[in-house]
Amino acid sequence: MERKWDYYPLKKEFLREEDPEVFRISQLEDKRIKEGIELIASENYVSPAVLEAMSTSFTNKYAEGVPGKRYYPGNQFIDEIESLAIERVKKIFQAEHANVQPLSGCPANMAVYFGLLNLGDTVLAQALDQGGHLSHGSPVSFSGKWYNFVHYHTNEQGWIDMDEVEELAKKHRPKIILAGFSAYSRNLDWKRFREIADEVGAIAMADIAHIAGLIAGKQLANPVPIFDVVTTTTHKTLRGPRGAVIMCKEKYAKKIDKAVFPGIQGGPHEHIIAAKAVAFGENLTEGFQRYAKRIIENARALAAGLMNRGFKIITGGTDNHCMLVDLRPKGITGKAAQDALEKAGIYANKNLIPYDPQKPMITSGIRLGTPAVTTRGMKPSDMEKIADFIDRVVQNIENEEKIKEIREEVRGFASSFPIFSWE
């Protein structure tokens, strides 16, 4: 049965009465979502059930510890909901152990490092300017300040150089080899990463924050059964609330759990864990598999539509939900494109491309993703329309009046779709 919701089911009656100003701002955000095209690859829209779960009374309870071993009394139902979330996520990813308490992706990665490394230990990961993530050893992040990160790179075409990964692993003998990204459009060779880690005696870690939903939806290979530890956020392609999960082999379970609490976190956010459980329940359905497949179909259609209009896509396409657009052939920067697109009601973030000559706050590229537009029920044919909007904005980047005209077209197009649509 197809289910569609235009605005979320929460009526906000108490909010409207008690705090009209917060109510007003929340209504404006609903309107922005309804009238815009969300192409930020790390963003999505949760279902009404997930949204309602976040407003439950589970938010009231302190629950330090794990199910069955809490520091405070009165947690019998907290134990039940958290255990349900754990059971479901383990089933999705075939995990031996899971901790569903991490508050977001960076804290999840921090907990893994805190639990399995000593300060100054070496980690091999993908460079930020090559598609990696801040928490994978950026010098401005805790990870780069506290641990010795060595970074592997992509080739000139934007593909990860696995031979370099192997060479660096043999040279530096890292304690952890980390596979994962925030801006990379191709499949990762999980087996090769595992083999390299085994060869040098390293822990094999994956950060699947961006592609977890595509793995859950059985569209991409699952690294969890073969890796030692895997982290993911729950709010990107998994289409859940803002939060994270750590999955690991049973041999690392105690270290991971103790790293989360009391290592780096206090009381878990059990209302969010309840919402995670709801999302995981959705992830286990055949409908979610169709959704994950459509995300990739839409991404490939959007990439093709842009390339047909003269845009350069790093690696020439995508295997997942996202793509990097090199704007240098168009003679504009990522920041200029981001700002102009936002004026037209299209949301896409500036992003470094491999070997980018621009600074991180300017960039030569933008990152695009299709999870949110797919949630709204858009199909590959709609990606052609979106590619056309993007092309026209770029062509008229200094023409404010033309961009206003495009904004009205975008508003009409986007408003014709519900906020959440799922078969």
User: Annotated active-site positions, please?
Assistant: 62, 64, 207, 233, 236, 242
Please name which of 181, 159, 157 lies closest in space to residue 42, comparing C-alpha atoms. Answer: 181
Please name which of 182, 181, 185, 183 lies closest in space to residue 193, comparing C-alpha atoms. Answer: 181
Q: Which two tokens stand for residue 152?
A: 């592997």
How long a stretch of residues is the chain? 423
Is residue 323 within 8 Å of 314, Cβ to Cβ? yes
What totals of helices (H) and strands (E) does the chain contain, helices first? 16, 17
CB atoms closer than 10 angstroms to residue 348: 21
Burial class of residue 266, CB neighbours in 10 A (0-12, 13-18, 19+): exposed
User: What is the β-pairing status of strands 37-38 and 346-347?
Assistant: parallel
How far lies 223's CA from each of 180, 213, 228, in Å?
Answer: 11, 13, 9
Please name which of 214, 204, 61, 188 lies closest in space to residue 132, comparing C-alpha atoms. Answer: 188
Helix or strand (DSSP H, E) at 99:
strand 97-99
* Cα 420 to chain centroid, rounded: 18
Cβ neighbours of residue 386 under 8 Å, at least 6 residues apart?
37, 39, 302, 305, 346, 373, 378
Supply the DSSP string of 109-131, one letter for each residue.
HHHHHHHH--TT-EEEEE-GGGT
Helix axes 380-395, 334-343, angle to 10 degrees: 110
